[in-house]
Each structure stands twice: as structure tokens, then as C-alpha cells.
Amino acid sequence: MLTNQEIFDKTFNHAQAQHKEYGVHAQSYDEGSCKYRDYLSDERVKMCFIGPFIPSEDYLECMEGYTANNLFEHYPDMMTNAGLDKEHSHDLLSSLQNLHDTNNPDKWDQGFARIARNFKLECSIELEGEVMT
């Protein structure tokens, strides 16, 4: 299973790369939350923070609108195969999903720093004058 630090690092790296490439987060879902997968016309794929943990071969469009915790309930084998354990990672995944879905990308760095502090994880972003490394 992935550790919380590994989950955080994978999400942080994904966010940095995607923000650099697109400048925005994955397009909004009809009900206002983000999409796990957003297939673009040029065959590129944008993903929310949880999207990279869903193997492409397991992704189903009907997953859209589910929270990360709902994915554990409805697709437990997929989540386990992705290296995620509900008991140990659901709070972190929920926090990361909330950061993505409720904040503009210019707020993500401070959000990552707060999440790192709350979960006692390493993060290179400054929060309130502190370096979290």
C-alpha cells in the first residue's frame, strides 16, 4: 500500500505538472465537482488530484461525481490495486480532493502546505513563514 507521503508526493507532482501544462484544473463536472478524467479533443487527458490513482483500464465515466471515499465503497478492488487503503488514506485523499475541487490553482500551494502540516508530511512549500521540508 502507498504511504500517505507517497500519496501526497504523487498528487503534488501531478498538480504541478498539470498546472504548468494547462494553467487550470480539470474541467468542472456538471454538478460542480471536478472530473477524474477530462478527455480533450487532441487526445490529452486532464485529471483532478484523485484521477492519477484510478488506473486507466479501470476508469468508468459513471465514477464521475463520486468522492474519493465513495470510490472505496463502490470500487474497493480498484482502489486496493491502486495501492490505496481506506483505513489509512481516506482522510488524506478527501483533503486533497477538497483542495482541488474548492480552490483555484493559485491557492493550491498553500493548501498543500496546510495538508502536509496537518498530516505531518514533508512538503517544500512555505506556510506562514515556515519551510515544510
**In the chain, where are the structural domains located?**
4-131
**How far, in Å, CA of 37 to CA of 27, rounded?**
9
User: Which secondary structure element, helix H or strand E, spans residue 99, and what is its range?
Assistant: helix 86-102
pLDDT in tens, 83-114: 999 999 999 999 999 998 888 888 899 999 99
What is the structure's pLDDT at 30? 43
Whether the predicted pLDDT of 132 surpasses 50:
no
Task: Give CB contacts under 8 A, 24+ apart, made by 104-110.
Answer: 105/15, 105/19, 105/23, 105/24, 105/25, 108/15, 108/19
Q: What does the pLDDT look like over 8-62, one tens digit per residue?
A: 999 999 998 887 666 555 444 344 457 898 888 788 888 899 999 999 899 999 9
Q: Enter the pTM of the model.
A: 0.85
